[in-house]
Structure 1
Amino acid sequence: MILRFLKERRSWILFFIIIHFFILFIAFIDSAIPVQSVLYIVFLSMIAFIIFLSVRYNKETAFYKSLADRENNLDISSIPAPESPFEQLVEKTLSEQAQSLKKDALHNRISLEQEKDELLSWIHEVKTPLTAMHLMIERMEDDVMKTHLTYEWLRIHLLLDQQLHQKRIPFIENDLYIETVDLESVIFSEIKTLQAWCIQKGIGFDIQLDQKEVLSDAKWLAFIIRQILTNAVKYSVASDIIIKCWKQGDQVRVQVKDSGRGIDPKDLPRIFDKGFTSTINHHDHAATGMGLYLAKKAAIPLLIDIHVQSIIHTETAFTLIFPKRNDFAAVISV
């Protein structure tokens, strides 16, 4: 801050120095003026000027130090009262900008809330004809056409479900209800939803549940498992998906392993990034890159760690590591 202050006042300092050099120059060329007395006066003047700069430094930089140290937000109450006219101008400008930004932020927040509510309402409205469509598909006698239509219906259903949960995730803390969840019923329910797709691709399931209950939120846990199962089915053909659940120490672990195309090692750190699909399968236009991203976002407030192991062109295993029961104290209190 000292260097900035001197840089700000450099023109004044240079003017002071030049004036005193000019006085000394006049004293040297004018024999009527005693040089020694002028040198003494200049020396005292320099001392006084340095003291003056020190006093003004503390007084003039206090306001700007507070600006430099304040948090980057719209709260200007931490700024001390301005004293000089320039400080008053700065404070007035900051206050007006803060008020304007607050109004814009409030307007944008209201617009986003309205957009979210409209989208959620639209999704719920679409679900009604979608349910009717599913009932009509179930009554079809042409098995081939029925299978194809069921698959397309399932794709729409999963995309709508994904969009619904994407809009709810920012407010997930308000929607959590931690309880003992029957893991078997959750897994079988999700498998039943994907049944037509699995039959079409010749995919079966090998379920090994040594631990059948976990402490979590049933709805959001089902969503996480749904995204992982959907991913496993999408990239597998004519093979079994192995689902295991066991207790290791004080933590329950659920693993979903498929024998699909696997994940390239360089892609593993990025698979939970928003919109990331793959660096080796860009021709796959059906991938949105949102499923695993949303699963990870939903897992964080549930204190669930998702670990991934994969061998390219061989297998991929997603492991959900649930927290210890005591770790849920903060979540349950929300």
Structure 2
Amino acid sequence: MSKFIKIKGHSLILFVIFILALLASITFGFDKNYISYICLISVFLFLIDLVISYRNFKRFSNEITYWTNDFESKAPFLIENTKAFENINNIYKSNKQMENFFEIKMAEFKEYVSMWTHQVKTPLFSLNLILKDHPVDDHAAKAEVFEIEEYIETLLSYMRLESLSTDFVFEQADLDELISSSIKKYSKVFIKKKNKVNFVPTNLKLTTDRKWFALILDQILSNSNKYTQEGEISFYIDDKNLIIEDTGIGIRKEDLPRVFDKSYTGYNGRIYKKSTGIGLNLVKTAAENLSIDVSIESKVDVGTKVILNLSRVLK
């Protein structure tokens, strides 16, 4: 009601002025009964106008309220095809797209967490069995703890990459130092799997974010070790490409186009039950943020090559 009064306020003021002017005209000799009759008719017509205007105001308010609760419905006549309608409609479509985007992201996250929870149970179960033995096998226990830490780090990295506030700090870095650090991190896994490392220093510098580039190397090495037993993992430069090559079980041809897809585990992941389907997706996403192109070549029972094109980041 208060909004309606504000809208009709100027009309009310003008009407009061009009009535006062009529009443004042009596002092100039106009017939009092005639003036009173005009005032009475004017008040009556003004009240009818107020009632009709208020009903229209309420109807329009209800239409606006209904439309704002359901933007898919027909817009009120008074704002249809107006600039205001266009702006509101654009905002609604933008919000709808964001809502759909976040729904998809939430569904993907729930799916990943569900898969992650299932996968992390394996090393936890193994660790529980090891701790029940007397004496406890320290090396075996540490291996399971390392695997659990890997799962946790992958989950945290996934969450950081999905965040809109992910920070990248680009600086000059020594490629050999980054590779050596990653190899050292997985040294015990290499020993456990009886895998050899072939790494010839590259003597190259690149502009990158050390943390995220290390994540890329770690994820690739983790995958190589998972699917390689008593084999070899090599690091070498071919033109401006860093190649990480293993002699593991390889990837089937039909799985190659989708290996970077989120939550896609492929044949190896289903058979060996070691994959969460997120590692290579993290590699792809992080690499894109670092201006690095990544691709994979592989043959079953021969091995896999992960190719990092560093042409845009080499000093």
TM-score by length of 2: 0.58
- Counterparts of 1:231 and 1:325, CA distance in 2: 24
1:1-334 correspondence to structure 2 within 5 Å:
84-85=77-78, 87=80, 91=85, 98=92, 145-171=137-163, 174-246=166-238, 248=239, 252-279=240-267, 282-325=270-313
2:176/2:202 contact within 8 Å kept: no
Count of aligned pairs? 215
Q: Secondary structure at the match of 2:146?
A: helix
Kindly provide the amino acid, as one letter, of the partner of residue 267 in structure 1.
D
2:182/2:218 contact within 8 Å kept: yes
Q: Secondary structure at the match of 2:197?
A: strand
Q: CA deviation at 1:84?
A: 4.3
Q: CA deviation at 1:260?
A: 0.3
Kindly provide the amino acid, as one letter, of the partner of residue 179 in structure 2.
I
2:295/2:307 contact within 8 Å kept: yes
Unaligned runs of 5+ in 2: 1-70, 114-126
Once the two structures are overlaid, the 10-residue window that deviates more, 280-289 or 303-312, is 280-289
Q: CA deviation at 1:87?
A: 3.0
Q: CA deviation at 1:279?
A: 2.8
2:208/2:313 contact within 8 Å kept: no
1:209/1:245 contact within 8 Å kept: no
- Counterparts of 1:182 and 1:324, CA distance in 2: 15
Q: Residues 206-248 of structure 1: CA distance to partner in whole angstroms, max 9, x if unpaired?
A: 10223332221111100001100100011000112111135x2
1:211/1:245 contact within 8 Å kept: no
The 3 A distance-change label for structure 1 pair 163 and 87 is same
The 3 A distance-change label for structure 1 pair 83 and 210 is closer
Dislocated runs of 4+, deviation >4 Å = 82-86, 88-92, 171-174
TM-score by length of 1: 0.55
Q: Secondary structure at the match of 1:296?
A: helix
Q: Residues 152-180 of structure 1: CA distance to partner in whole angstroms, max 9, x if unpaired?
A: 11111111111111111134775112222
Q: CA deviation at 1:86?
A: 8.3
- Counterparts of 2:224 and 2:146, CA distance in 1: 15
| CA RMSD, Structure 1 to Structure 2 (Å) | 4.1
- Counterparts of 1:284 and 1:325, CA distance in 2: 36
- What's the % identity of the aligned pairs? 26
Unaligned runs of 5+ in 1: 1-75, 77-81, 120-132, 329-334
1:306/1:321 contact within 8 Å kept: yes
- Counterparts of 1:150 and 1:175, CA distance in 2: 32
